[in-house]
Amino acid sequence: MNDVPAVVVARLDGRVVSQNAAARTLMGDAKGRDCWHVVGDLEGAEGLPCRTGCVRELLASGMDRARHSRVSLDGRRHSLTCVPLEDAVICSLSSPSADRPEAWELITAREREVLCALSEGKTDRAIAADLGLRASTVRTHVEHMRTKLGVTTRAALVARGFELGFLS
């Protein structure tokens, strides 16, 4: 697997609706197939959490409830992050070499605290209360992290946080 993460998008029923070139190379054309078979049946993979109905379960657990797993693929460590987003789940399989943050991707200690709270599904108000901040300050931290990490949604921010090792 190269440094570009393999990305698969599955809708509520678990069927793959989209995948990037890296995923097609790794898994073949997966459109219309069950995500848990496409990802879960990867040859040479160990520790994959994929199972029948996992997409529906993840969506039912609520937005910003990303699932992150360390897996082995052909004996090398990889990260599998599955993020619910509206009525779909975005799964990203990346190798450790793609996991190292660049200098511009580094986040502050306070941003890391906010990111951790986001990964737990907390609202801006709850995070603000926990950290002794204003909700507007929390939103500012979230926007700064989204810019630094090159993502557009909170769910993608949490997924990227796992990929870069800011969350475990």
Residue 59 pLDDT greater than 60, yes or no: yes
Residue 151 pLDDT: 86
Taking residues 10-33, report their average pLDDT.
93
Last residue of a domain, one of 55, 77, 98: 98
- The answer to whether residue 168 sits within a structural domain is no
Last residue of a domain, one of 49, 77, 98: 98
Number of structural domains found in the chain: 2
Residue 76 pLDDT greater than 80, yes or no: no
- The answer to whether residue 42 sits within a structural domain is yes
Q: How does pLDDT run across 97-153, given as a tens digit for each residue? A: 544 566 556 788 899 999 999 998 899 999 999 999 999 999 999 999 988 888 888
Same domain membership, residue 93 and residue 56: yes
Residue 3 pLDDT greater than 80, yes or no: no
Residue 43 pLDDT greater than 80, yes or no: yes
Same domain membership, residue 59 and residue 135: no
> Domain holding 122: CATH number?
1.10.10.10
Residue 64 pLDDT: 65
Residue 158 CB contacts under 8 Å (≥ 6 apart), including other chains: 64, 66, 83, 115, 118, 119, 167
- The answer to whether residue 1 sits within a structural domain is no
- The answer to whether residue 44 sits within a structural domain is yes
Other C-beta atoms closer than 10 Å to the C-beta of 20 total 15
Containing structural domain, residue 153: 103-163
Residue 164 pLDDT: 80
Entry pTM = 0.59
Beta carbons of 62 and 46 less than 8 angstroms apart: no
Average pLDDT, the chain: 86
- The answer to whether residue 84 sits within a structural domain is yes
Residue 65 pLDDT greater than 80, yes or no: no
How confident is residue 61, by pLDDT bands cut at 50, 70 and 90? confident
Residue 124 pLDDT: 94
Strand order in the sheet with 67-73: 16-19, 6-11, 88-94, 76-85, 67-73, 45-46
Residue 41 pLDDT greater than 70, yes or no: yes
